[in-house]
A and B are shown apart, each in its own frame.
Chain A
Amino acid sequence: MIDVVVLFFLLGVFARLVKSDLRLPEPLYETLSIYLLLAIGLKGGIELSKQPVLDLLPQMLACMALGFAIPLVLTPVLRLMGLSRVDAASMAAHYGSVSVVTFAVASAYLAAQGVPAESHAALWVALMEAPGIVAGILLARLGAPSRPGEETQGVNWRELAHDVFLGKSVLLLAGGLLIGTLMGEAGTAPIAPVFLVPFKGLLALFLLELGLVAGGRLGELRRYGVRIVGFALVAPPFLAMAGALTGWALGLSLGGVTIMATLAASASYIAAPTAMRMAVPEANAALSITAALGVTFPFNIVLGVPLYLEMARWLVSGA
């Protein structure tokens, strides 16, 4: 059954398609995004405080390796589809990085289905945000120009590292994780009525806004054609398979394998566009954002997450 928050997303898309004047105030969008990142981090941190962090090292390394590997696999595929080197690498970076909101929707869906998952999964999100972006930039920048006229341009790695590792999303997520780990359940109890209890309602409101944003990208789909739409629909299940296999190999629970599959299948539309805009400005930003936000994000939250749960069920029960 579809999760209630997804209906808010669809309401936003509908509002956009019928050209409604609905628009959430910008400060509300900012507030909600800060809230969700902190709340997700805090929840994960509270669970981290209950277990030895060193035991999670294999998971942490596997998350980063998975995020880094995805652009290495996708870039040649996108090149074969006719994209330029920078466009292919930029698009692959978006898919190597992750979508925090897709993670939140998957967590809410699992909770509604009564499928428990590793509660420290927010740690995986924080670790998977950056490696895909770094791999995408390396792929775009390293090597000779593959077409006459393609430019190569230096990357200010220091500035980029600052933006990626100390950017809003990683800082808030990691900060929430740290605060939750340090303070534990008892220490965070006073703020639980704000950060933990109303989470799902505020996620629904945020998804309404993202529905408006994603609905606005649908018109762009015609411009990029069947190839890009096809890629944005076909790549996530394959990436989910890689994520599910990784989670299964790590011995995660059914919920954990589903989350890992969802993270691998998700595409970033917040951290990656900003980083790629700075590091690879010649890449077509609208192309990647339209695929990630206009196609893959709706696909994942409406159909993908239930599909990945079934995929994980098949993998875990078949093992």
Chain B
Amino acid sequence: MEKFARTLLVLITESALEKRLIADSQRLGAHGYTVHDVRGGSRLSTREALWEADRSIELKLICSPEVADAIAAHVMATYIPHYSLTLYFASVDVLRPEKF
């Protein structure tokens, strides 16, 4: 079975950013996305998802390394200064490369 290398970019952030992040990532070349509602915390704060303003999401994007880099650079420049945001990359193999 032939596999194709792609990058998984995961963004964990405040749910208030969901619409903007999806629009930004599609504009920068992502073909699709997956969103989960999540909760979590750090040494600095806890986001327990108890009510609207406390909700967090995990946004997953599988795309080419170039697109993942472009999205991450945009997110770092635009949102990191004022929002709770964690992002990381992982290498993944996919089967239908045209989908990503």
Residues of A within 8 A of B (CB): 23, 26, 29, 209-210, 212-213, 216, 269-270, 273-274, 277-278, 281-282, 285-286, 289
Contacts and interface: CB of A to CB of B under 8 A. Distances in A.
A15 to B, nearest CB: 12
B52 A274 contact: yes
B50 to A, nearest CB: 5
Contact of A213 (B50, B79, B83): B50
10 contacts: A26-B49, A213-B50, A216-B50, A269-B53, A273-B52, A274-B53, A281-B82, A281-B83, A285-B53, A289-B53
Given A216-B48, A278-B16, A273 B82 contact: no
Interface of B: 14, 16, 20, 37, 45, 48-54, 79, 81-83
Contacts of A210: 51
A26 B79 CA distance: 27
A209 to B, nearest CB: 7
A209 B53 contact: no
B35 to A, nearest CB: 15
B51 A213 contact: yes
Contacts of B83: 277, 281
Given A216-B48, A269-B51, A277-B16, 10 more contacts: A209-B50, A213-B54, A216-B50, A269-B53, A273-B52, A273-B53, A274-B52, A277-B14, A277-B83, A281-B83
Contacts of B54: 213
Nearest to B83: A281
A30 B79 CA distance: 27
B45 A286 contact: yes
A273 B50 CA distance: 14
Contacts, number: 38
A209 B83 CA distance: 26
Contacts of A213: 50-51, 54
B84 to A, nearest CB: 10
Contacts of B14: 277
**5 A-B pairs with the lowest CB-CB distances in the bound complex, closest first:** A273-B53, A281-B82, A277-B16, A213-B50, A282-B82
A270 B54 CA distance: 10
A165 B45 CA distance: 30
Contacts of A216: 48, 50
A282 B52 contact: no
A23 B46 CA distance: 15
Contacts of B52: 270, 273-274
Nearest to B23: A159
Nearest to B45: A286
Contacts of B16: 274, 277-278
B71 to A, nearest CB: 19
A29 B53 CA distance: 13
Contacts of B20: 278
A26 B37 CA distance: 10
B20 to A, nearest CB: 8
B38 to A, nearest CB: 11
A81 to B, nearest CB: 22
Contacts of B81: 282
A158 to B, nearest CB: 13
A270 B53 contact: yes
Nearest to A268: B53
A222 B23 CA distance: 39
Contacts of A289: 53
Contacts of A209: 50-51
